[in-house]
Amino acid sequence: MRKRYLILPLLLSASVAFAGGFNSGEGDKDKVSKETKQNWQHLDLEEDGIPGISANKAYETILKGKTSKKVTVAIIDSGVDIEHEDLKGLIWTNKNEIPDNGKDDDGNGYVDDVHGWNYLGHPNGDNIELENFEITRLYKRYKTDFEGKKPSTAEEKEEYKKFKEYEKAYFDRYKETGKIGESTRKTYAKALEHDAALNEYFKKSDYSKEELEELSTSSAEGRYKKAAKFFLNNRALSYYEWKVNWIKTLYAGYLNVDLNARDVVGDNPEDLKDTVYGNSDVIATGAEHGTHVAGIIGANRSNDLGMKGIADNVEFMVLRCVPDGDERDKDVARAIRYAVDNGAQVMNMSFGKDFASDQKAVEEAIKYAEDKGIILMIAAGNDSRDLEKKDSYPKTIYMDGTRPSNVLYVGASSINFDRELPAIFSNYAQNKVDFFSPGVDIYSTLPDNKYRYMSGTSMATPVAAGAAAVLLSYYPELSGADVVDILKKSVTTHKGKMVRKPNPDRKDKKTVDFAELSQTGGIVNLYEACKLAEQRVKSLSKR
């Protein structure tokens, strides 16, 4: 999972903070109340004027008074804080495993896998924290075989061709990082200078947007006005601080050919048959992303704490295989198979990367899930990219050209029902992304009973996964294929609505029909999905 898939709060959002201490993360509609901002993904366009998925409307009308069945959702991610106040009582438990006895009671090869499994750890409790990009691993692998050597056989020549491709991609990324790093350092230095001036002027560090606006038009000394205008027109100081550290992480981890993170686990990462590895610590380190995802799907809807999830009767199976860096295909394939074998009905996969080393293993695992009728929700990615031109992994289409029937690829939409409806960072593709879902400034759970806004297709995907879980919960007669079909057919379509094509810097002013950005041309709508589910169940009962 590249850092841009682990979206920090509002780093890629249109509503980034204005200055050092300004309270970011509360949406870019100033007139929207705090309550609305914290729950906007649940709202209805017609009734509330907000392009959410109409979850509240579904619960208040169609689902009111109905009984539901618990649905198991696998969170294949960075780990989940299973002790969080808003997730307690919602964690899947392996009833065939006795906790903390150091034995593999159910004989599945995993010791004490009570709530899931951690594929990034060692039995002694150590865990991977920082990993390479996949392109770094591929470059390292092929460099060992081919650097300084000449291929002779046809097979070697074909492999050598791959080596040169990976070598170029790796060094292109390295050079790009250098350019970004230099630019970032210069901008950060300027931001620090402006922030110091504002601290001096306001005699505090938590100045507000309103104070900056007033200062920018006042008769104050020029350097103060210049500083105010800088933060009004640019990102927050905290953003530049994050980006400087991100550049350091790129060099120290993601692009570091000398990093051998897998030594921590102790398995052979190239051997797909080496399947017994990891530990039972599903919280481990870096569980922010997975915890946020879990809360979006199904945080307790009946308490008065932090926030409400989309689904009201779920349990979370936690499968940790996404580090700070790119996930390994071997781990993803194992996690999918574990989820299938242990009864998951929906899998949320909010991760992705530009290259794959074992695409076949992941495809076979997805087909294994497909045969069991299990739904996989996969994030489309945050590169503002047309996936028709360049795919991401896991891919939307199999190597043989067919498309999995159980997979839904999700783009991210914003709270704004205008030209800014698609998130500026979201990937898109008319034939490869199935639909969009709320993914900008989504308020959800974080470890240690905390909450925060985060943005990304990583947030849009669990909104859709929550909707799938609701359908399976209230309409257990439906198959996974039924739910996939219903979610696609019940979207709120916006054909003819002209929007800005996703692009991070907003320099591209070109508008396109929102319907051209995904296969369905719409946004998930739980209310309409429930209506269609009612009809589908009635038709099934007549057969």
- Domains, in order of start, for the chain: 34-131+259-541 (3.40.50.200), 134-254 (no CATH)
Tens of pLDDT along 314-373?
999 999 999 999 999 999 999 999 999 999 999 999 999 999 999 999 999 999 999 999
Tens of pLDDT along 411-422?
999 999 999 999
**For residue 10, what pLDDT is reported?**
37
Tens of pLDDT along 160-172?
999 999 999 999 9
- DSSP sequence for 116-163: EEETTB-TTS-B--B---HHHHHHHHHHHHHTT----SHHHHHHHHHH
- The residue annotated as part of the active site, out of 357, 384, 413, 458, is 458
- The Cα 493–Cα 384 span in angstroms is 21
Residues 6+ apart with CB under 8 A from 500: 419, 420, 422, 424, 506, 508, 509, 510, 511, 512
pLDDT band at 11 (very low <50, low <70, confident <90, very high): very low
- The Cα 513–Cα 515 span in angstroms is 5
**For residue 542, what pLDDT is reported?**
75
- Total Cβ atoms within 10 A of residue 398: 17
- pLDDT at 23 > cutoff 50: no
Contact present, 425 and 477 (Cβ < 8 Å) = no
Summarize the confidence of residues 217-238 as an average pLDDT: 91
In 3D space, the residue among 280, 279, 308 whose CA is nearest the CA of residue 294 turns out to be 308
CA angle 525, 531, 534 (to 5 degrees): 135
The tokens of 366 are what?
């997805």
- Using DSSP bridges, classify how beta strands 375-379 and 407-413 pair: parallel, antiparallel or unpaired: parallel
Tens of pLDDT along 179-201?
999 999 999 999 999 999 999 99
pLDDT band at 248 (very low <50, low <70, confident <90, very high): very high
**For residue 172, what pLDDT is reported?**
96
Tens of pLDDT along 439-497?
999 999 999 999 999 999 999 999 999 999 999 999 999 999 999 999 999 999 999 99
Query: Which neighbouring-strand residues pair with 349?
Result: 378
The tokens of 172 are what?
């292109």
13 vs 401, residue with greater confidence: 401
148 vs 94, residue with greater confidence: 94
**For residue 150, what pLDDT is reported?**
84
Query: Which neighbouring-strand residues pair with 365?
Result: none
- The residue annotated as part of the active site, out of 289, 391, 455, 473, is 289
Q: Is 258 one of the annotated active-site residues of the chain? A: no
- The residue annotated as part of the active site, out of 24, 42, 77, 391, is 77
Summarize the confidence of residues 234-255 as an average pLDDT: 91
Chain centroid to Cα 421, Å, comes to: 18
pLDDT band at 24 (very low <50, low <70, confident <90, very high): very low
Alpha helices in 250-397 (DSSP H): 288-298, 329-341, 359-371
- pLDDT at 15 > cutoff 60: no
In 3D space, the residue among 271, 432, 434, 439 whose CA is nearest the CA of residue 350 turns out to be 439
398 vs 479, residue with greater confidence: 479
**For residue 506, what pLDDT is reported?**
65
- pLDDT at 21 > cutoff 90: no
Residue identified by tokens 């979610």 is 487
- The Cα 365–Cα 371 span in angstroms is 10
Summarize the confidence of residues 67-80 as an average pLDDT: 98
Which helix (H) or strand (E) is 212 found in, with range?
Answer: helix 209-216
pLDDT band at 2 (very low <50, low <70, confident <90, very high): very low
**For residue 19, what pLDDT is reported?**
30
Alpha helices in 342-479 (DSSP H): 359-371, 457-474
- pLDDT at 527 > cutoff 50: yes
- The Cα 163–Cα 149 span in angstroms is 12
Q: Is 24 one of the annotated active-site residues of the chain? A: no
Contact present, 458 and 409 (Cβ < 8 Å) = no
- pLDDT at 91 > cutoff 70: yes
Q: Side by side, which strands form the sheet with 71-77?
A: 116-118, 314-320, 71-77, 346-349, 375-379, 407-413, 435-438, 522-523, 492-493
User: Average pLDDT over the chain, rounded to whole?
Assistant: 91
- pLDDT at 147 > cutoff 90: no
Summarize the confidence of residues 2-27 as an average pLDDT: 33
- pLDDT at 397 > cutoff 80: yes
Q: Is 77 one of the annotated active-site residues of the chain? A: yes
pLDDT band at 29 (very low <50, low <70, confident <90, very high): very low
280-289, 380-389, 503-512: least confidently modelled range: 503-512
Residue identified by tokens 């390292």 is 140
Tens of pLDDT along 37-64?
999 999 999 999 999 999 999 999 999 9
Which letter, b or e, does each residue of 372-391 get, where b requires 16 or more Cβ atoms within 10 Å of its Cβ?
Answer: ebbbbbbbbbbbbbbbeeeb
**For residue 30, what pLDDT is reported?**
53
Q: Taking the model in full, what pTM does it have?
A: 0.91
Summarize the confidence of residues 17-42 as an average pLDDT: 60
